[in-house]
Amino acid sequence: MATTLKTEERSIEINEAEIHGAGKMEATNQVAIGLIMTLAAMVGVWGIACFFAGVVKSGGLIDMARLWVGAITGM
């Protein structure tokens, strides 16, 4: 069933199936964005956890920085 919208300049026919299809597309996009944001947050939390584990294992922030620079420079 088509709905006709009339304006002063032109009339536009809107198919109800297109309206519902657009709603499904929007819902799909929202789910995809939510999934990407969730995965990004999980990666961020994992990175922070690894950083703190490295600080604890190396004996402190200064020691970790010294060991990191040593690993990069090869000294």
pLDDT in tens, 9-66: 566 666 665 666 667 788 889 999 999 999 999 999 999 999 999 999 999 999 999 9
- With residue 20 as reference, give the H or E element that holds it: helix 16-58
Residue 1 has pLDDT above 90, yes or no: no
Quick check: pTM over 0.75? no
Spatial CB neighbours of 61, under 8 Å, sequence gap ≥ 6? 55
What pLDDT is attached to residue 4? 56
Q: How many domains does the chain have?
A: 1
Residue 65 lies in domain: 2-73
What pLDDT is attached to residue 11? 60
Q: How far apart are CA 62 and CA 75, in angstroms?
A: 16
What pLDDT is attached to residue 55? 93
